[in-house]
Amino acid sequence: MEDDPIPTMLDGVMDTEANTEGENNIQPSSDTNDKTTSTIWNRSGYTSGMFSKPRSKLLRTSRSSVGKPASRNYDVQSKNLSKKKDVLELQEQHFLKLSSNQEIEKAYLLAKIKREEDLHEMDVASRKAKDKRDADIHLAEVTERLIRKQREKELFDLAKQKLMLEVSILKNDLGHLGIGNNNE
C-alpha cells in the first residue's frame, strides 16, 4: 500500500509547532466555556460545535397553543373548516363540470363513430353495387359476343350449304348438258 494520503492533505491544517506527536491540538480561545469559539487545528476554521450533536427541538403542533385563548383556536379551526369546505365545493363543481364535458365529448365521439360507420357501410354498398353492375355489363357483353359469333357461324354454315347446293345444281345442269367433267 502507498503512504497514507491524509497527513499530506492536512499539512497546512495541523499546527506543527504545538504538538508533533500526531495528536490533534485543541487550542481554546479566550472563553474556555464557549464550545463554538474554540478551534480544533490552528487556522483550520473547524470549531468544536461542528462536531457536537445538534440539540433536538420540540415539534410544534396545532394543539400547543400555550397562552392563546381557546376561543381563538376554535375560530381559527372553524375558518379553516369553512375554507376547506369551500375548496371541496369548488373541487366538486370542477369535477361535475369535467364529467359533464366528458359526457358531451363521449356523446359527440359516439355520434361521429356512428356516422363514420354509416358512411363506410354506404361506401361498401356502393362499391358492391358498382362491382355487380360492372360484372353484369361484362357478362352481357360476353353473352352478346357469343350470340353474335354463333349467328355468324350459322350464317357461314348456311352460306356454305347454299354454295354447295348451287355447286351440285350446276354439276347436275352441266351433267345434263353433256359437258361433264371427269375430274371430279
Find the mean pLDDT for residues 24-52.
55
Instruction: Please give the average per-residue pLDDT across 138-163, as a whole number.
Output: 96
pLDDT greater than 60 at residue 31: no
pLDDT score of 172:
87
Which pLDDT score is estimated for 76? Answer: 86
Q: Is 60 exceeded by the pLDDT of residue 118?
A: yes
Cβ contact 39:27 at 8 Å: yes
Helix (H) or strand (E) holding 46: strand 46-47
List the chain domain ranges.
1-54
- Distance separating alpha carbons of residues 158 and 150, to the nearest angstrom: 12
> For 52-99, how does the pLDDT look when each residue is reduced to its tens digit (9 = 90+)?
666 666 665 555 555 555 566 788 888 899 999 999 999 999 999 999
**Beta bridge partners of residue 46, listed in sequence order:** 40
Is residue 160 predicted with pLDDT exceeding 90?
Answer: yes
Residue 1 in this model has a pLDDT that exceeds 50: no
* Contact indicator for 49, 36 with CB cutoff of 8 Å: yes
Mean pLDDT of 101-111: 96
Return the minimum-mean-pLDDT range out of 27-31, 86-90, 108-112, 151-155: 27-31
- Neighbour tally for 14: CB within 10 Å: 20
